[in-house]
Amino acid sequence: MAENPKLLDLMLEHLELARTLRKLTIFFNPEQCTGVWECIQVCPVNCWEKHPTQRQAVFVHPDSCIACNACVLQCPEGAIELRV
């Protein structure tokens, strides 16, 4: 019985974390993008494409984004952020 309060605290902490993760979205600054396109290579749900005329990535499918953070970690220019 002594462990139940700890378990409840862990479950509440997990619930709060899950709520926060659902609010995460990608913020992209195209002016910082230099067209390395690593975001395109690592995105598991194909949210990124190459700009047709400029050497830049384009965040084309924000509704498909799962906020996995792969593009944020791979962007050498810091043009991509994950925010609440």
Residue 60 pLDDT: 97
Which tokens is 33 given? Answer: 């993008």
- pLDDT for 9-53, tens place per residue? 999 998 888 888 788 899 999 999 999 999 999 999 999 999 999
Query: Hey, what domains does the chain have and what are their CATH numbers?
Result: 24-83 (3.30.70.20)
Per-residue confidence at 3, pLDDT binned at 50, 70, 90?
A: low
Residue 2 pLDDT: 53
Whether the pLDDT of residue 1 is over 80: the answer is no
Vertex 51: Cα angle to 36 and 59 (nearest 5): 80
The structure's pTM equals 0.76
Residue 56 pLDDT: 96
